[in-house]
């Protein structure tokens, strides 16, 4: 489908001869997913669609308690410090952004009166300014009114490096001005094609100035409201025991009529994914459980009980393997895997190519993940227009053997290949999680057949994903030859997501291993394409640039994508929830109800 046809169809939608729904379906048929299809419509002044849950109850309250199980327990409730998804989910109950993302990637206004578009004057033609109109009559939980001052304050708070906010990246390069009490104007330093990042979704929650005003900068961690939130959300804070339980009560003054439905809310932490699935699907003790990284077989069996259902929605999350091009076993300047070193064998592209051929992605999908993932060779899979159509995967042990033979790696007495005394023996690390250990076993066996010996290592998830500078087992340290994990794409646009392929994001000792480029591989061509994409306003050209960044890393076989993950959650049959792959699970918790 070419540009002209798309334009023709957009015109049809505008005239009303083609419905939004069929437009999105036709775009999907040619590989353009819903989020982008609706962005195309938005660029062409067709109002955003709405795939949110239709709300049936006719009055607020009366729904009794809602019990949510987060098997990784939340530990803090300030959304701007919430680097973990569990904390983002918990703080979203109390704080709200100007707008959130529904499951089709549509922007849905929350504290904004409407989503900015060119038609309503919200978006400037040069792509540098966005004007948000705020909803009037919204009150904080303590009764004070919500105004533009709070939004401007949130920007000042998050952009201050001394505040050390996790969201600072979304705010540090913009300028926010108050136009009047219910209008703000946001100016980007350069034309920004993906404008819906500050004040939107996970990173965009608005803080009350009257509670956080004194705690801007270095004192940010001392604010009492970090643990006792006062927000605008559908539930008011009651009690919080970090790492255990969070309770809330219905906000009688909530700004959406007849919402929320439940009288109280309980968020319980602890356990593991399997026991969480069981507590919802089998025993029905809880109404909703999140992030069920469980073998699909197990979930299907639990579902046969008929008490609950599984919801799997598409997301941009990707399960992948990194092959470390640096040497993890030599210490240079106080760090291993330093970019000054070179891996003795993995720096050879032939070895990496062979390993990529030894991954049986189809079996991993079929026998382990099921509904939880789709086998892929591309790092970016959603939205579809950013997915590379060039990248293909193959499982072929013979071909891998031939590549290694040709490259001069000979089998030793123990069956392990070596060249110049360097053996193809690698440590392969991931977090403790049953599907991941099974994936490790499958890949190890295939590698064995090609004369590559893998030592499997599994690290408990709370250590693996922590940012503890002193621990050598965190994923960003990469003190191993191979590593596997899932990285999440929080917005329906891969620009921010792909910064992990840039040279200035390399994780090292200097940035306390907080850099996003964990693989440490760099390519000037990728840097250049990424920088060009940041300024490109033409969606098609921009997509091509971002696809190039993705392809450079995947073709170098540094990044070996395995599965495009879906987000899997469970709920009891009578609870209606609004699960989105582009925002946190509680993004629209006000609209949940029980039938």
Partner 1 sequence: MAGSTLASPSADPAVAAIAAPVSVSPARETWRRFRRHRLAMASLVILTLLIVSVIVGPWLWPVAINDIDFSATLQGPSLAHPLGTDDLGQDIMARMMYGGRISLAVGLAAMVVATFVGVLIGALAGMSRKVADPVLMWVTDLFLSLPQLPLLLLIIYLFREQLKALFGVEGGVFVLIVIVIGGLRWMPVARLVRAQFLSLREKEFVEAARAQGATKMRQMVRHILPNALGPVIVASTIEVSTAIIAESTLSFLGLGFPPDIPTWGRLLFDAKDQLDTAPHWALFPGAAIFLTVLSINFIGDGLRDALDPRRVI
**Binding site residues, partner 1, CB under 8 A:** 274, 294-295, 297-298, 301, 363, 366-367, 432, 434, 437-438, 440-442, 444-445, 448, 455-460
Q: How near is the Cβ of 353 to partner 1 at its closest, in Å?
A: 23
Q: How near is the Cβ of 468 to partner 1 at its closest, in Å?
A: 12
Q: Give the nearer residue to partner 1 in terms of CB position, either 213 or 270.
A: 270
Distance CA 446, CA 325 (A): 21
- Residue 6, H or E segment: helix 3-15
Q: Give the nearer residue to partner 1 in terms of CB position, either 298 or 575.
A: 298
Long-range Cβ contacts of 464-472 (<8 Å, 24+ apart): 464/429, 464/430, 464/431, 464/432, 465/84, 465/431, 467/83, 467/512, 467/513, 467/514, 469/512, 469/513, 472/336
Sequence-distant (≥ 6) Cβ neighbours of residue 226 within 8 angstroms = 76, 77, 78, 81
Place of tokens 């005239």: 15
Query: Nearest to residue 299, comparing CAs of 99, 307, 467, 59?
Result: 307
Distance CA 67, CA 339 (A): 47
Instruction: Decide if 558 contacts 519 (C-beta within 8 A).
Output: yes
DSSP E strand stretches across 283-434: 288-289, 308-323, 373-375, 410-411, 417-419, 422-423, 425-431
The 3-state DSSP class for residue 125 equals: coil
Q: How near is the Cβ of 460 to partner 1 at its closest, in Å?
A: 5
For every residue of 361-390, DSSP letters joined together read: HHHHIIIIIGGGEEE-S-S--SSGGGS-SS
For every residue of 547-579, DSSP letters joined together read: HHHHHHHHHTTSEEEEEEEEEEEEEETTEE---
Q: How near is the Cβ of 441 to partner 1 at its closest, in Å?
A: 6
Q: Give the nearer residue to partner 1 in terms of CB position, either 329 or 504.
A: 329
Query: What are the phi and psi torsion angles at 570 (to 5°)?
Result: -125, 145
Q: How near is the Cβ of 274 to partner 1 at its closest, in Å?
A: 5
Q: Give the nearer residue to partner 1 in terms of CB position, either 304 or 389.
A: 304
Instruction: Decide if 327 contacts 343 (C-beta within 8 A).
Output: yes
Q: Give the nearer residue to partner 1 in terms of CB position, either 110 or 568.
A: 568
State how far Cα 572 lies from the chain centre.
25
Q: How near is the Cβ of 60 to partner 1 at its closest, in Å?
A: 40
Q: Give the nearer residue to partner 1 in terms of CB position, either 43 or 367.
A: 367
Q: How near is the Cβ of 40 to partner 1 at its closest, in Å?
A: 42
Distance CA 280, CA 275 (A): 9
Q: Give the nearer residue to partner 1 in terms of CB position, either 299 or 543.
A: 299
Distance CA 34, CA 26 (A): 10
Copy the structure tokens of residue 103.
């499951």
Place of tokens 């440490």: 520
Q: How near is the Cβ of 374 to partner 1 at its closest, in Å?
A: 18
Q: How near is the Cβ of 426 to partner 1 at its closest, in Å?
A: 12
Q: How near is the Cβ of 408 to partner 1 at its closest, in Å?
A: 27
Q: Give the nearer residue to partner 1 in terms of CB position, either 113 or 442.
A: 442
Instruction: Decide if 424 contacts 453 (C-beta within 8 A).
Output: yes
Q: How near is the Cβ of 420 to partner 1 at its closest, in Å?
A: 21
Q: Give the nearer residue to partner 1 in terms of CB position, either 456 or 544.
A: 456
What distances in angstroms separate CA 105 from CA 3, 44, 186, 213, 407, one per listed residue?
21, 17, 22, 33, 46
Q: How many residues does the chain have?
A: 595
Q: How near is the Cβ of 482 to partner 1 at its closest, in Å?
A: 13
Rg over alpha carbons for the chain, rounded to the nearest Å, is 24
Distance CA 77, CA 89 (A): 9
Q: Give the nearer residue to partner 1 in terms of CB position, either 437 or 534.
A: 437
Distance CA 280, CA 299 (A): 11
Q: Give the nearer residue to partner 1 in terms of CB position, either 305 or 408.
A: 305
Q: How near is the Cβ of 459 to partner 1 at its closest, in Å?
A: 5
Q: Give the nearer residue to partner 1 in terms of CB position, either 246 or 368.
A: 368
Q: How near is the Cβ of 373 to partner 1 at its closest, in Å?
A: 17
Q: Give the nearer residue to partner 1 in terms of CB position, either 118 or 300.
A: 300
Question: If phi over 0 gives left and psi between -120 and 50 gives alpha, with beta otherwise, what is residue 446?
Answer: alpha
What distances in angstroms separate CA 42 from CA 37, 123, 313, 473, 515, one per listed residue?
9, 10, 23, 45, 34
Q: Give the nearer residue to partner 1 in terms of CB position, either 24 or 299.
A: 299
């Amino acid at each position: 489908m070419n540009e002209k046809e798309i334009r023709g169809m957009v015109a049809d939608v505008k005239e009303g001869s083609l419905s939004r729904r069929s437009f999105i379906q036709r775009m999907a048929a040619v590989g353009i997913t819903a989020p982008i299809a609706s962005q195309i419509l938005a660029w062409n002044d067709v109002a955003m669609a709405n795939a949110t849950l239709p709300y049936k109850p006719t009055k607020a309250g009366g729904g009794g308690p809602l019990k949510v199980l987060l098997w990784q327990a939340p530990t803090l409730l300030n959304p701007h410090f919430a680097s973990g998804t569990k904390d983002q989910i918990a703080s979203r109950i109390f704080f709200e952004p100007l707008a959130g993302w529904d499951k089709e990637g549509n922007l849905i206004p929350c504290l904004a009166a409407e989503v900015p578009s060119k038609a309503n004057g919200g978006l400037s033609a040069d792509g540098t300014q966005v004007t948000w109109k705020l909803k009037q009559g919204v009150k904080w939980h303590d009764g004070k009114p919500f105004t533009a001052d709070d939004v401007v304050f949130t920007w000042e708070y998050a952009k201050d490096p001394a505040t050390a906010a996790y969201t600072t990246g979304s705010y540090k390069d913009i300028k926010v001005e108050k136009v009047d009490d219910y209008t703000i104007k946001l100016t980007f330093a350069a034309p920004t094609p993906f404008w819906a990042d500050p004040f939107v979704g996970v990173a965009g929650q608005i803080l009350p100035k009257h509670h956080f005003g004194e705690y801007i900068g270095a004192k940010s961690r001392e604010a009492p409201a970090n643990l006792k939130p006062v927000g605008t959300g559908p539930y008011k804070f009651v009690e919080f025991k970090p790492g255990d339980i969070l309770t809330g009560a219905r906000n009688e003054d909530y700004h959406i009529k007849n919402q929320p439905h439940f009288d109280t809310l309980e968020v319980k932490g602890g356990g593991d994914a399997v026991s969480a699935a069981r507590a919802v699907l089998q025993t029905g003790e809880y109404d909703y459980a999140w992030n069920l990284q469980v073998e699909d077989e197990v979930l299907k069996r639990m579902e046969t009980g008929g008490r609950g259902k599984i919801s799997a929605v598409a997301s941009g999350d990707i399960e992948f393997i990194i092959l470390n091009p640096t040497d993890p076993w030599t210490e240079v300047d106080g760090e291993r895997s330093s970019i000054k070193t070179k891996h003795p064998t993995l720096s050879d592209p032939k070895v990496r190519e062979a390993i990529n051929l030894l991954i049986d992605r189809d079996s991993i999908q079929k026998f382990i993940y099921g509904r939880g993932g789709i086998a892929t060779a591309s790092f970016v899979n959603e939205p579809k227009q950013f997915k590379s159509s060039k990248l293909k995967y193959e499982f072929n042990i013979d071909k891998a053997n031939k590549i290694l033979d040709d490259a001069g790696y000979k089998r030793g007495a123990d069956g392990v290949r070596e060249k110049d005394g360097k053996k193809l023996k690698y440590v392969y690390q991931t977090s403790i999680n049953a599907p991941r250990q099974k994936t490790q076993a499958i890949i190890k066996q295939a590698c064995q057949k090609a004369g590559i010996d893998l030592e499997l290592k599994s690290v408990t998830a709370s250590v693996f994903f922590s940012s503890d500078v002193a621990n050598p087992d965190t994923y960003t340290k990469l003190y191993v030859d191979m590593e596997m994990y899932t990285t999440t794409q929080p917005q329906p646009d891969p620009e921010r997501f792909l910064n992990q392929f840039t040279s200035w994001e390399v994780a090292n000792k200097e940035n306390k291993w907080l850099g996003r480029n964990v693989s440490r591989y760099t390519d000037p061509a990728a840097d250049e394409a990424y920088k060009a994409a940041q300024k490109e306003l033409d969606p098609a050209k921009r997509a091509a640039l971002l696809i190039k960044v993705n392809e450079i890393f995947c073709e170098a076989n540094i990044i070996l994508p395995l599965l495009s993950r879906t987000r899997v959650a469970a709920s009891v049959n009578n609870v209606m929830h609004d699960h989105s792959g582009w925002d946190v699970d509680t993004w629209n918790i006000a609209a949940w109800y029980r039938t």
